[in-house]
Amino acid sequence: MRVLRRTLGTLLVLGAAVSCTAAHGDDAKPGGRRPAALAPYDRLLPAPASARAEGAGYAFGAGTVIRTGAGSGEEVRQVGELLAEQLRGSSGLPLPVVDGQEGDGIRLLLDEGAQELGAEGYRLRTTASGVTLTARTPAGLFRGGQTLRQLVPVRGTGDVPGGTVTDAPRFAYRGAMVDVARHFFPVEQVKRYVDQLAQYKINTLHVHLTDDQGWRIAIDSWPRLAEYGGAGEVGGGPGGHWTKEEYRDLVEYAARRYVDVVPEIDMPGHTNAAQASYAELNCDGKARERYTGVKVGFSSLCVGSERTYEFVDQVLGEIAELTPGKYLHIGGDEAHATPADDYADFMDRAQAVVARHGKTVVAWHQLAQGRPAPGAVIQYWGHDRGPAAEKAAVVAAAKAGHPLILSPADRAYLDMKYDTTTKPGLTWAGYVPVERSYSWDPGNHLAGAPESAVLGVEAPLWTETISERGDWELMAFPRVLGLAELGWSPAGALDWTSYRERLAAQGPRLDAQEINYHRAPDVPWS
Ligand code: ACM
């Protein structure tokens, strides 16, 4: 990755340096003219490592076919089919997918020797004869296809302007988290979010599956967790849970979009739903009442009981079996009802269980004050005014080789209100307007933590105050696009003044997808 970053750094042609003089695409269509429109290669979001407009464009229209290379395999074919489906949705064109590279059209070319493109990078070249996407992996072809979607008109047909994009991500991990525990949401809503995120090159969906208010995933060896512990939520609604079949369906749906699902079972605190479902998980042997409030920090598994570790092993074993990706998130935050020594002992054993099931631990940053196991990934969710000791522990863990996922609450938490007028959301980390959520650099955010320790960024959406899709989207959009750019684009591209213009240019796309986004006053929406 380091080598690639340097290679692309020399190609860096960004923002104002990218110019596209002719009017193309939707700018050229009658009635489609936007005020002070950015040229198509200038408005890509996330900003690519390099983009240059040049030469004649390609007429994207009724005759366009998508060509996957003969012999490039079923997976490339699937990438082509999905890209066709996405482009058909906005254009209404037939867009057949055919084998073979010869002829005009959109060509998907796997070049396993293109080392410089890395695991997710791609090259996109548009000439009069078509658009050629080249990548070393099918994931790279998919990411490049999402760039192409931004170069074709929002609706209908028109020119894809001539030019070249050479692109690869700055960080390997670009995540979003959803809390389906405080309020339950069906898998269909999460799939919709996956589609919305993947078009901006987010590659990880972290699902917070369990908390005090609900347990949302069926566990065969402990069936009351979902059946009883899932039947409630904040405010007293009915709650719900996902069957394993539904969960597998979500994982597969996300995988087709090259989005990895990271499941979280939060322990040893945030466990009231489990403690309500099974008396034996409580040190006093008495089942707790189900909880519908929003307080945190009152629950704890019984750390001294061997039955607790059978529970941890069986639950994490079933979750690992459902998880093709390498990460299992075990929470570890706000265990205020667990004494510090017990916390460290419990997390030692929970981490060993994850390793035994062949997975890598991710935990919230409180693990840094315990004993993170070798390779454990630390997710930082502190904020500028947070405790110095917590930050120091995270920095020490980074220096000791633990990868970091950065989710600073006063930047990346999508449940913080934008301003005083925002109806849903919380304010404990302050208001987070769009500019604030975008204006930080993950590479140097935590003083003393080297950029090489930063695995990436993640935007969590907690749902204490969010019970319906409209509010979910209002809080996530447009801020999650900024997080996507912070995770993908080179440091030299991060600039609020240019970003706000590019973000405004996404407005018609968000409208066309019927996303309920916040018309933030700091963004010049057209
Ligand atoms: C958290 O917000 N408790 C990770």
**What is 113-130 written as a DSSP string?**
T-GGGTTT-EEEEEETTE
Atom of ligand 1 nearest to the CA of 413: 2
Q: 462: how many CB neighbours lie within 10 A of its CB?
A: 23
Closest residue by CA, ligand 1 atom 3: 333
pTM recorded for the entire structure: 0.93
Do 388 and 239 share a structural domain?
A: yes
Do 270 and 364 share a structural domain?
A: yes
- How far does residue 365's CA lie from ligand 1's centre (Å)? 9
Distance CA 465, CA 235 (A): 9
- Ligand 1: residue of 267, 330, 462 to mutate (most ligand atoms within 8 A of CB) is 462
Which phi and psi angles does 302 have, rounded to 5°? Answer: -85, 100
Give catalytic residue positions: 334
For ligand 1, whether the C-beta of 242 sits within 6 Å is no
For ligand 1, whether the C-beta of 247 sits within 6 Å is no
For ligand 1, whether the C-beta of 333 sits within 6 Å is yes
We report the CATH number of the domain holding residue 153 as 3.30.379.10
User: How many domains is the chain partitioned into structurally?
Assistant: 2
Atom of ligand 1 nearest to the CA of 296: 3
Atom of ligand 1 nearest to the CA of 462: 2
Do 365 and 319 share a structural domain?
A: yes
The distance from CA 377 to its chain's CA centroid, rounded to whole angstroms, is 16
Do 107 and 214 share a structural domain?
A: no
Q: Check the CA dihedral 309-266-209-376 and report its sign.
A: negative
In a domain, 258, yes or no: yes
We report the CATH number of the domain holding residue 418 as 3.20.20.80
pLDDT number for residue 36? 58
Closest residue by CA, ligand 1 atom 2: 381
In a domain, 442, yes or no: yes
3-state secondary structure 444-462: CCCCCCCHHHEEEEEEEEC
For ligand 1, whether the C-beta of 390 sits within 6 Å is no
In a domain, 253, yes or no: yes
For 96, which DSSP code?
-
Do 261 and 161 share a structural domain?
A: no
Of the residues 117, 143, 167, which one is the last residue of a structural domain?
A: 167
Q: Are 216 and 188 in contact (CB under 8 A)?
A: no
Do 70 and 119 share a structural domain?
A: yes
In a domain, 522, yes or no: no
pLDDT number for residue 246? 98
Do 243 and 140 share a structural domain?
A: no
Do 263 and 204 share a structural domain?
A: yes
- Ligand 1: residue of 209, 267, 333, 390 to mutate (most ligand atoms within 8 A of CB) is 333
For ligand 1, whether the C-beta of 472 sits within 6 Å is no
- How far does residue 84's CA lie from ligand 1's centre (Å)? 39
Short-list 191, 193, 188, 235, CA closest to 214: 235
Of the residues 135, 167, 199, which one is the last residue of a structural domain?
A: 167
Beta bridge partners of 13: 50
- How far does residue 283's CA lie from ligand 1's centre (Å)? 25
pLDDT < 50: residue spans in the chain: 1-35
Do 241 and 160 share a structural domain?
A: no
In a domain, 226, yes or no: yes
pLDDT number for residue 101? 82
pLDDT number for residue 69? 78
Of the residues 167, 197, 230, which one is the last residue of a structural domain?
A: 167
From the CA atom positions of the chain, what is the Rg in Å? Answer: 23
- Ligand 1: residue of 206, 208, 264, 334 to mutate (most ligand atoms within 8 A of CB) is 334
For ligand 1, whether the C-beta of 364 sits within 6 Å is yes
In a domain, 514, yes or no: no
Closest residue by CA, ligand 1 atom 1: 333
> How many angstroms separate the Cα of 453 from the Cα of each of 171, 260, 331, 428, 442?
10, 20, 20, 28, 10
**At a CB cut-off of 8 Å and minimum separation 6, what does 367 contact?**
332, 347, 361, 376, 378
What domain range includes position 455? 173-488
For ligand 1, whether the C-beta of 381 sits within 6 Å is yes
Do 225 and 148 share a structural domain?
A: no
Q: Are 354 and 329 in contact (CB under 8 A)?
A: no
pLDDT number for residue 6? 31
- How far does residue 288's CA lie from ligand 1's centre (Å)? 22
In a domain, 35, yes or no: no
Do 146 and 209 share a structural domain?
A: no
In a domain, 508, yes or no: no
Which phi and psi angles does 421 have, rounded to 5°? Answer: -90, -5
Do 177 and 163 share a structural domain?
A: no
Atom of ligand 1 nearest to the CA of 334: 3
